[in-house]
């Protein structure tokens, strides 16, 4: 007679505990993706509230100001649904159907798998809301209409989640996922055409005109113009501490990236090393190389 309620109470308490545990897991996974994904740096102004936007991004096409992505109902994205958030990352499309400019690297985030988008969304929703208003981008007149972004997407953007390449190892695939989807290394390390599209044949080969017109090195394993002369240990050390083989630290746009990469789990770091060392070496001298 008493057994039944006891069993029910027991089952209910166990499943509630599991739900709490998996909820926590979801949040910590979301935090990891937010960090490795570089969202915090880009969406936080110097000295500003976290993720409240307002950081200026200087590009050859004008100055973009990142928006507020805290869960504030009106100033941020608090009123969005998870699927609207997924559309922003996967398709570069806003809830009102307008297209985003590729200064928002959805060109890489489109590869983030749906479960990770879900974790990211759960974590973002758990953070404090900021009422900081968004600032308009400063763009030439011909880019002010979002139809320009839509045309750009039509010409240069291919949406699609990361797909495992079965001929490669599990670790390589994880490294590829981190580099191509989350940490979007190619957004800076791959040169762009005059239309701002990354050039696939020069993937990771560096450019003299990176973010803020900064020089970005060739990170393919080319022995002369890339990092082919780095040992595995040196590459691992760079990812773990941001320290270059000559004892200097990564500067400029790489500095905030390096800071977040220090959070990589040991397994993810090895995976990224596997992937980087297996890249096709491209002979491309950047600047004075």
Binding site for ligand HEC (CB under 6 A): 37-39, 42-43, 57, 64, 66-67, 69, 77, 85, 88, 94, 100-101, 103-105, 109, 120, 179, 183-185, 187-189, 210-211, 214, 216-217, 219, 227, 238, 244, 250-254, 257, 261, 276
Q: How far is the CB of 89 from ligand HEC (least distance, A)?
A: 6
Shortest reach from residue 223's CB to ligand HEC, in Å: 12
Beta carbons of 80 and 117 less than 8 angstroms apart: no
Closer to ligand HEC by Cβ: residue 12 or 151: 151
Q: C-beta of 144: minimal distance to ligand HEC in Å? A: 11
- Centre a 10 Å sphere on the Cβ of residue 284 and count the other Cβ atoms it contains: 18
CB nearer to ligand HEC: give 27 or 253: 253
Output the smallest distance, CB 3 to ligand HEC, in A: 49
Nearer to ligand HEC, 26 or 227 (CB): 227
Say if residues 217 and 206 touch (Cβ distance below 8 Å).
yes
Find the shortest distance in angstroms from Cβ 97 to ligand HEC: 12
13 or 131: whose CB is closer to ligand HEC?
Answer: 131
Could you tell me the CA-to-CA distances from 29 to 81, 123, 265 in Å, in that order?
A: 19, 8, 12
d(CA 53, CA 70): 9
Nearer to ligand HEC, 5 or 136 (CB): 136
d(CA 178, CA 275): 9
Between 164 and 225, CB nearer to ligand HEC: 225
How far apart CA 70 and CA 166 sit, in angstroms, is 38
Name which of 28, 37, 35, 94 is nearest 67 in CA terms: 94
Question: What is the nearest approach in angstroms of ligand HEC to the Cβ of residue 279?
Answer: 10
User: Whose CA is closest to 216, among 228, 232, 204?
Assistant: 204
Q: For 162-187, give one letter per residue: b (16+ CB within 10 A) or e.
A: beeeeeeeebbbbbbbbbbbbbbbbb
């Amino acid at each position: 007679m008493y057994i039944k309620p006891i069993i029910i109470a027991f089952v209910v308490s166990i499943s509630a505990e599991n739900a709490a545990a998996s909820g926590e897991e979801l949040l910590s996974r979301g935090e990891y993706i937010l960090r490795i994904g570089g969202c915090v740096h880009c969406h936080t102004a110097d000295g500003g509230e976290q993720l409240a936007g307002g950081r200026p991004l200087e590009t050859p096409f004008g100055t973009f100001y990142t928006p507020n992505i805290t869960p504030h109902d009106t100033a941020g994205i608090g009123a969005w649904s998870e699927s609207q958030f997924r559309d922003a990352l996967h398709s570069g499309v806003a809830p009102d159907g307008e297209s985003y400019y590729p200064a928002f690297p959805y060109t890489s985030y489109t590869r983030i798998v749906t479960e990770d988008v879900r974790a990211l969304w759960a974590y973002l929703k758990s953070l404090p809301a900021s009422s900081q208003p968004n600032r308009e981008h400063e763009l030439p007149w011909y880019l002010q209409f979002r139809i320009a972004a839509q045309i750009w997407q039509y010409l240069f953007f291919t949406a699609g989640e990361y797909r495992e390449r079965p001929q490669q190892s599990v670790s390589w695939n994880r490294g590829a996922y981190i580099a191509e989807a989350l940490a979007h290394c190619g957004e800076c390390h791959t040169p762009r055409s005059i239309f701002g599209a990354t050039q696939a044949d020069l993937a990771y080969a560096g450019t003299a005109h990176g973010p803020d017109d900064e020089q970005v090195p060739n990170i393919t394993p080319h022995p002369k113009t890339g990092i082919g002369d780095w040992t595995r240990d040196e590459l691992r050390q760079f990812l773990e501490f941001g320290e270059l083989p000559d004892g200097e630290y990564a500067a400029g746009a790489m500095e905030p990236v390096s800071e977040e990469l220090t959070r990589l789990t040991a397994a993810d770091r090895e995976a990224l090393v596997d992937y980087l060392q297996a890249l096709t070496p491209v002979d491309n001298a950047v600047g004075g190389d």
